[in-house]
Amino acid sequence: MSKRTASIQRDTAETRIRLALNIDGSGKADIQTGVGFFDHMLTLFAKHANMDLKVVCKGDLHVDYHHTVEDVGIALGTALKQALGDKRGIVRYGFFYLPMDETLTRVVLDLSNRVYLEYRVPGKNRKAGDFPLTLVEEFMRALANNAGMNLHIELLYGRDAHHIAESVFKGVARSLDAACRRDPRVKGLPSTKGKL
């Protein structure tokens, strides 16, 4: 069985990223972005997706967190797409309801290569510490666009910004864990079109 891994090196005028992903890992994470809350989100993402993830990002944090968060999303989405290869034998779809104390989030995704993000999580003017909640949407958009993912995220209810962000990241992680699994019953691609 082929290894589902990828290594990404992405350098721009705003960020310098080194990222390694193993889809069939055990949830190990080594995250260094310079943004503590984002490191926490990526660490729990790896744990709940059962993927090994290493990220080192040197970004223009003197400007703000936006470029770092978005560009790591681009790199992770690119790595996920590369590691999945032709997607033969995978489940393809994943969904999860993630409770986090007073918060409940629903995530549904399709690794179809038809890119779309439906993000229904109010976050304007809300922060978890000094981390703007709007950056969670930027990360998820970059992830979906570069992984070739149809991704739907909806906050059903919740109040605490930290809990909301965490439920989104964990919900996406659990949904990806389900979608990326190999199903021995699936012969070839999980599509009647013969291509994803």
CATH of domain 5-180: 3.30.230.40
In this predicted structure, what is the pLDDT of residue 1?
A: 66
Burial class (CB in 10 A: 0-12, 13-18, 19+), 186: middle
Contacts of 81 (CB under 8 A, 6+ apart): 146, 147, 148
CA angle 97-158-165, nearest 5°? 70
Arithmetic mean of pLDDT, 164-189:
93
Arithmetic mean of pLDDT, 55-74:
97
Cα 17 to the chain's mean position, in Å?
A: 16
Domain ranges of the chain: 5-180
Q: Compute the mean pLDDT over every residue in the chain, rounded to the nearest whole number.
A: 95
Q: Which residue has the higher pLDDT, 194 or 156?
A: 156
Tens digit of each residue's pLDDT (9 = 90 or more) over 113-172: 999 999 999 978 899 999 999 999 999 999 999 999 999 999 999 999 999 999 999 999
In this predicted structure, what is the pLDDT of residue 196?
A: 73
Tens digit of each residue's pLDDT (9 = 90 or more) over 6-36: 999 999 999 999 999 999 999 999 999 999 9
Arithmetic mean of pLDDT, 73-92:
96
Asked if 89 contacts 154 with a C-beta cutoff of 8 angstroms, the reply is no
